[in-house]
Amino acid sequence: MKVETECSCALDRVRKGDYERGDGWKLTSAGQAQFKKDAKLLKEHMGYDVTEMDFAKQFSEFKCDHPTIHFSTDNILREIIKDKGKKYPDGDVELFVFATDEEFRLMKELIPQRTWNGTASGFLNQILKSPFPKIYVCEWYFERQEYNTVDPQLIIFIKDGDGLKWECHNLKSTEETEMES
């Protein structure tokens, strides 16, 4: 439990940049030493590389004793754009992807914000730019490691001319009326 507490404190310091500083906001030698110690601890224990600027590469479940999983709608986009989009660049297939229940929840909460939230509209624009005419995003229960094949929560994104529509099936906790395209 001690190492988890140390990691939590180190993560707070890294996120806040809470290190001893001298003139001009430069880290003092003590601040640099603490940052290096925090970076090493986070890398070894959580697989979190604080020096990596590419968000997709910051977390690694390998070579650490307590892997960290980061749930984000960016993971859904990465699957659509980078992974499957590169494999099928001609857009001659429909795409079916699974998203963890947490990522699916985040996506459900993000979409209704499309008119006032730049992140939401950016998310939908990236889907529109993908090569796929239709994308099915289905919820996957991460903790139970199971797929709901009877009545899954599902959002289907459909390209419609220059726009994007979506259909919602079996959504829970977010009103389907809020999700209408």
pLDDT, tens digit (0-9, with 9 covering 90-100), for 46-95: 777 888 766 566 665 565 555 556 678 888 998 898 888 888 888 789 99
Per-residue pLDDT tens digits for 105-142:
999 999 999 889 888 899 999 999 999 999 999 998 88
Rg (CA), the chain: 20
| Closest residue by Cα to residue 129 from 137, 139, 121 | 121
The model carries a pTM of 0.63
Please report how the helices 2-16 and 29-46 are oriented relative to each other, as an axis angle in degrees rounded to 10.
Answer: 130
Largest CA distance in the chain: 63
Instruction: Judge whether residue 5 has pLDDT over 90.
Output: no
User: Which pLDDT belongs to residue 158?
Assistant: 94
User: Which pLDDT belongs to residue 176?
Assistant: 47
**DSSP states of the chain:** -HHHHHHHHHHHHHHHT-S-B-GGGPBPHHHHHHHHHHHHHHHHHH-B-TT--SHHHHB-SSS-SS------HHHHHIIIIIIIHHH-TT--S-EEEEEEHHHHHHHHHHGGGTTT-HHHHHHHHHHHHSS-SEEEEEEEETTTTEE--SS--EEEEEEETTEEEEEEES--SS-TTTT--
Contact of 166 with 177, CB cutoff 8 Å: no
User: Which pLDDT belongs to residue 83?
Assistant: 81
User: Which pLDDT belongs to residue 178?
Assistant: 52
Average pLDDT over the chain, rounded to an integer: 83
d(CA 115, CA 120): 8
Contact of 14 with 27, CB cutoff 8 Å: no
d(CA 156, CA 175): 16
